[in-house]
């Protein structure tokens, strides 16, 4: 095993940001098309209840990371947003998890 067991594919922090994540910034998921990561990976960056299902459909992500996408203020998680996020993931067809990574 090398220095990492898994990759976190996330958006770059905006210029001048005081922390590396939690900014709600997404990236162009189409950049992942055709890539074959050497390790298991997790999708992050600007995921919300409104876009997480589309993100998973487009990238084939098997794992997602969410923070600011379910907050009402920095660091304040909203139970309704968390529920909506989970519901959006639950709405995906079962075959999404069976697809190879990075297929649209």
Which CATH number characterizes residue 48's domain? 3.20.20.70
> What is the per-residue pLDDT across 42-78, written as a single tens digit (0 to 9) for each?
999 999 999 999 999 998 898 999 999 999 998 999 9
Binned at pLDDT 50, 70 and 90, residue 104 comes out as very low
Domain that holds residue 73: 1-9+21-29+40-104
**Would you say residue 35 lies in a domain?**
no
**Would you say residue 15 lies in a domain?**
no
How large is the C-alpha radius of gyration of the chain?
A: 14
Residue 52 · residue 89 · CB < 8 Å:
yes
Count structural domains, the chain. Answer: 1
Question: Is the pTM for the entire model greater than 0.95?
Answer: no
- pLDDT of 50: 97
**Would you say residue 16 lies in a domain?**
no
Q: What is the DSSP letter of 11?
A: P
> What is the per-residue pLDDT across 3-57, written as a single tens digit (0 to 9) for each?
888 999 998 877 877 776 667 788 889 888 888 888 899 999 999 999 999 999 9
Q: Tell me, rounded to whole angstroms, the distance of Cα 76 from its chain centroid.
A: 19
**Would you say residue 87 lies in a domain?**
yes
């Amino acid at each position: 095993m090398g220095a990492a067991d898994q990759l976190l594919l996330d958006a770059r922090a905006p210029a001048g940001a005081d922390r590396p994540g939690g900014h709600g910034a997404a990236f162009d998921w189409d950049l992942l098309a055709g890539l074959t990561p050497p390790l298991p990976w997790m999708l992050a960056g600007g995921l919300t209840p409104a876009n997480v299902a589309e993100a998973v459909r487009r990238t084939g992500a098997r794992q997602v990371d969410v923070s600011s996408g379910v907050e009402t203020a920095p660091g304040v998680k909203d139970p309704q947003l968390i529920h909506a996020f989970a519901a959006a993931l639950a709405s995906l067809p079962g075959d999404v998890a069976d697809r190879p990574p990075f297929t649209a």
